[in-house]
Amino acid sequence: MKVLIPGGSGLVGRALVPELTSRGHSCVILTRSPEAVSGFPAGTELVAWSGTSAEGLQPTLEGVDAVVHLAGESIGAGRWTEARKKSILDSRTQSTRALTAALLAVGNSKIALVQASAVGFYGPRAGEEISEDASAGSDFLARVCREWEAASAPVEEAGLRRVVIRSGVVLSRNGGALPKMLMPFRFFAGGPLGDGRQVVPWIHIADEAAAICFLLEDQQVRGPFNLVAPGAVTNRQLGETIGKVLGKPSRVPTPAFAMRMLLGEMSTLVLDGQRAIPQRLLAAGFEFRFPDLESALRDLLGSSS
């Protein structure tokens, strides 16, 4: 397959492209600054795209078999001011609407679309298990995910196969949440955030990439899939496992009020959670390399533990 990946220069894309290439697929990355991007397998194409307009996308889509749409501004890069919240939402919906318009203009119903989203779709939940048929939440992140997913819905109505990946916290030593989680432990100050009972829906970066490939290659699957490991943990268990793998203590709690003062509304990322389960992914036959947290962390941190 020839796979087009808007936003492919980010954390997930950097794991996905080598995985696709190893399976014999070719990749084209859409990015704002191709000249600043490096480190991809030989043969990977880099094409400039603003992320806001369908102009110029139609020729790029010619000959493409599938699109994995990963573009979107990081939700954890700064405090959620009203301007930043608008930027987070716009970066997802504008790019998705532009891509959707281009796909419809091409008129090739054989192109498959894998649309990124997140388990934030469900909103903060207590301990209930959340499969893909659960209702959407009502907080800011849920609104972002709802509008993000809705922006690509017209391609499905036009007959294209659309898969929506609702990812959890993607664990990688090269970026994302994990390096930030590790910092307190390096100074012997790691521990639970808030009461530590919130569930962290996580997935190893290798399983994230492999699951996307799996959903691309299985022509029968469509609709939403939770990309989370089956071994859900609480925030307290996460801290204890990081401490165990690193050989560091994990008993220093950070009070919830301190996180709210420091992060404002963005504190929901660490103080709230969802016990999302990969029900549809497992039913489709996907096998996780890292179904439990300790094996995942030992793989990611083994050389530094």
pLDDT classification of 233: cutoffs 50, 70, 90: very high
Are 228 and 119 spatial neighbours (Cβ–Cβ below 8 Å)? yes
> Does pLDDT of 227 surpass 60?
yes
As to burial, measured by CB atoms within 10 angstroms (0-12 exposed, 13-18 middle, 19+ buried), residue 35 is exposed
Which domains are delineated in the chain?
A: 2-170+201-230+274-289 (3.40.50.720)
Concatenating the DSSP letter of every residue in 16-70 gives HHHHHHHTT-EEEEEES-GGG---PPTT-EEEE--SS--TTHHHHHTT--EEEE-
Tell me: the pLDDT tens digits for 56-66? 898 999 999 99
pTM: 0.94
- State how beta strands 175-176 and 169-172 pair: antiparallel
pLDDT classification of 263: cutoffs 50, 70, 90: low
pLDDT classification of 305: cutoffs 50, 70, 90: very low
Average pLDDT, the chain: 91
Tell me: the pLDDT tens digits for 149-194? 999 999 999 999 999 999 999 999 998 888 888 888 877 778 878 7
User: So what's the pLDDT on residue 262?
Assistant: 66
CB within 8 A of 191, min separation 6: which ones? Answer: 184, 239, 249, 250, 251, 252, 253, 254
Q: What is the distance between the alpha carbons of residues 147 and 4, in angstroms, rounded to a whole number?
A: 22
In 228-279, beta strands by DSSP E? 233-234, 275-276
